[in-house]
């Protein structure tokens, strides 16, 4: 049986890897309008968010990365509920 410290270290490493991969995958690009940006998934070549301000795009990326972490930890039902809430325009506070 693993000690608690080892379990926490493994979960923390997984979270860091997933978070960095998610933030690397999601890229903010400028649109033809100088003050508007979009978030794209450069691996799939799809637009995920925008056009919006740069700040709004950054605020989109962090919850998206957090949802990827929840999925990696095996909490897909929680992540799916969070996506549903976000899709309906509600802010997640936590």
> Global pTM?
0.59
Question: Alpha-carbon distance 9 to 15, whole Å?
Answer: 10
pLDDT digits (tens, 9 = 90+) for 29-84: 999 998 999 999 888 888 989 999 999 998 888 877 777 777 777 766 656 665 66
Please tell me the predicted confidence (pLDDT) of residue 4.
74
Residue 13 makes CB contacts below 8 A (sequence gap 6+) with none
The tokens for 12 are 């923390």
pLDDT for position 91: 45
What is the three-class DSSP state of 28?
Answer: strand
pLDDT for 79 equals 60
More confident residue, 5 or 82: 5
């Amino acid at each position: 049986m693993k000690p608690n410290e080892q379990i926490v270290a493994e979960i923390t490493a997984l979270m860091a890897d997933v978070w960095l991969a998610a933030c690397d995958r999601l890229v903010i690009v400028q649109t033809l309008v100088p003050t508007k940006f979009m978030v794209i998934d450069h691996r799939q070549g799809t637009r995920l968010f925008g056009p919006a301000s740069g700040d709004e795009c950054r605020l989109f990326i962090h919850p998206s990365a957090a949802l990827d972490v929840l999925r990696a930890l095996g909490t897909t039902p929680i992540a799916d509920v969070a996506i549903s809430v976000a899709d309906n325009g509600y802010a997640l506070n936590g």
